[in-house]
Amino acid sequence: MTLILTFLGKSSTARTKIAIAAAMKHAREGKRVLLAGGTEPAIQTLLGTTLSNEPQEVAPNLQAVQLQASTLLESSWEEVKKLEAQYLRTPILKEVYGQELAVLPGMDAALALNAIRLFDESGKYDTIVYDGTGDSTTLRLLGLPESLSWYVRRFKQLFVNSDLGKAISDSPLVQPLIGTFFNINWTSDNFSGPTNMANNLLDKGKAALADPRRIAAFVVTNDDPVEVAVARYLWGSAQLVGLTIGGVINTGTASNSTLNEFDPLPITSVPDGTVGQWEAMVDALPDFVAQATQAPKPVEIDTNTRQVRLFLPGFDKKQVKLTQYGPEVTVEAGDQRRNIVLPPSLSGKPVAGAKFQNGYLIISF
């Protein structure tokens, strides 16, 4: 089982140093480790080497890779063309080449997530350390399976219930016409084929996100009030998307007791690391899995008490918005939004009450 580990916080240099030290720590423990970063030069400068879009060994048991969005897009585009060819007799994308495509805003995050997924599924690594942007963009990246599953789930049902969906299902005329263009006789049931494939993929992503032994994050801060405020904001935002924050890495001079705003998270103080001298930082790092599994769960659903509890530290009740328009409950905090899928015993039932207590949003049905 692969552990995917990432770090959040305002200082990009401090985060990258912690990511490198974490990768070295796991490698020295005998684990097969991949350190994945973007195109920024920080990792390469700190490691004193040049990276490419193919993993390369930089230390015993440790490989590093540079996730280049344009290169990832090219390879992903070929898969898109193969998928299109399965459904269209005359594919329209076959003359469009991945090398021509520009990376649109936000696309790089999705491509990075897919690359990490493929590295994870390869079975080559015990630990993948992802040195991302460390901000809300990284949170949206890791929360993508949850967000996309809502679109697939809701729009599939909307299609099936629409006049077009019913026409495809019921009309003896529409089906042959569609069959003229598609490789298959497409009924409304066939719509379930690709959506089921997508749902299986997204379900794996959601299951991994919900398991701190599979995906965990740690916030990196120091004694600067701005750094602390950003770290607390990211802590609460991560909890909302379902990402477990396992602890705090203190890179400053403040004593651990002065960072009590992060209670009940454990706080680990580490010295600064420099190029070629990582031992002190590596030795000071905690057992990431042990801390992550002890941390407060982002969401807990208790069907006996008919309650949903969300741990949202860093926010107060004025910053949290709760709505219920359909069978699910939507919670907004900061710049993040989450649709909570309720178990059958609570699905469709109206919210009876909600309160904000000790950092928890408690929703009753």
183, 86 Cβ separation under 8 angstroms: yes
Question: Domain for residue 357, yes or no?
Answer: yes
Cα–Cα distances in Å, from 23 out to 34, 244, 281, 322? 7, 19, 11, 39
- Does residue 328 sit in the same domain as residue 213? no
The predicted structure's pLDDT at residue 274: 63
The predicted structure's pLDDT at residue 107: 75
The H or E element that residue 332 is part of is strand 329-333
124, 116 Cβ separation under 8 angstroms: no
| Burial class of 295 by CB neighbour count within 10 A (0 to 12, 13 to 18, 19+) | buried
The dihedral through the CA atoms of 199, 203, 209, 213 has a sign that is negative
In whole angstroms, give the CA distance from residue 53 to residue 66: 5
Question: Domain for residue 172, yes or no?
Answer: no
The predicted structure's pLDDT at residue 142: 84
- Does residue 279 sit in the same domain as residue 315? no
The predicted structure's pLDDT at residue 163: 53
Question: What's the number of domains the chain is made of?
Answer: 2
- Does residue 254 sit in the same domain as residue 127? yes
218, 245 Cβ separation under 8 angstroms: yes
User: Which CATH number fits the domain that encloses residue 120?
Assistant: 3.40.50.300
- Does residue 321 sit in the same domain as residue 246? no
- Does residue 131 sit in the same domain as residue 278? yes
- Does residue 314 sit in the same domain as residue 273? no
- Does residue 57 sit in the same domain as residue 131? yes
Which regions of the chain are under pLDDT 70? 77-104, 153-199, 201, 254-258, 273-276
The predicted structure's pLDDT at residue 188: 47
89, 51 Cβ separation under 8 angstroms: no
pLDDT in tens, 100-123: 666 667 777 778 888 898 899 999
Question: Domain for residue 173, yes or no?
Answer: no
- Does residue 54 sit in the same domain as residue 111? yes
Q: Name the residue range of residue 142's domain.
A: 3-72+100-148+204-287
User: Which CATH number fits the domain that encloses residue 342?
Assistant: 2.60.40.790
Question: Domain for residue 133, yes or no?
Answer: yes
- Does residue 270 sit in the same domain as residue 333? no
- Does residue 127 sit in the same domain as residue 234? yes
In whole angstroms, give the CA distance from residue 250 to residue 262: 11
Question: Domain for residue 262, yes or no?
Answer: yes
159, 191 Cβ separation under 8 angstroms: yes
- Does residue 115 sit in the same domain as residue 41? yes
Give CA angle at 241 (332, 315), nearest 5°.
50
End-of-domain residue from the set 243, 265, 287 = 287
The predicted structure's pLDDT at residue 25: 97
- Does residue 134 sit in the same domain as residue 267? yes
Cα–Cα distances in Å, from 52 out to 19, 38, 108, 110, 177? 18, 10, 16, 19, 48
pLDDT in tens, 267-286: 999 997 665 678 999 999 99
End-of-domain residue from the set 287, 314, 331 = 287
259, 231 Cβ separation under 8 angstroms: no
In whole angstroms, give the CA distance from residue 333 to residue 56: 40
The predicted structure's pLDDT at residue 178: 42
End-of-domain residue from the set 257, 287, 317 = 287
The predicted structure's pLDDT at residue 156: 64
The predicted structure's pLDDT at residue 61: 97
224, 214 Cβ separation under 8 angstroms: no
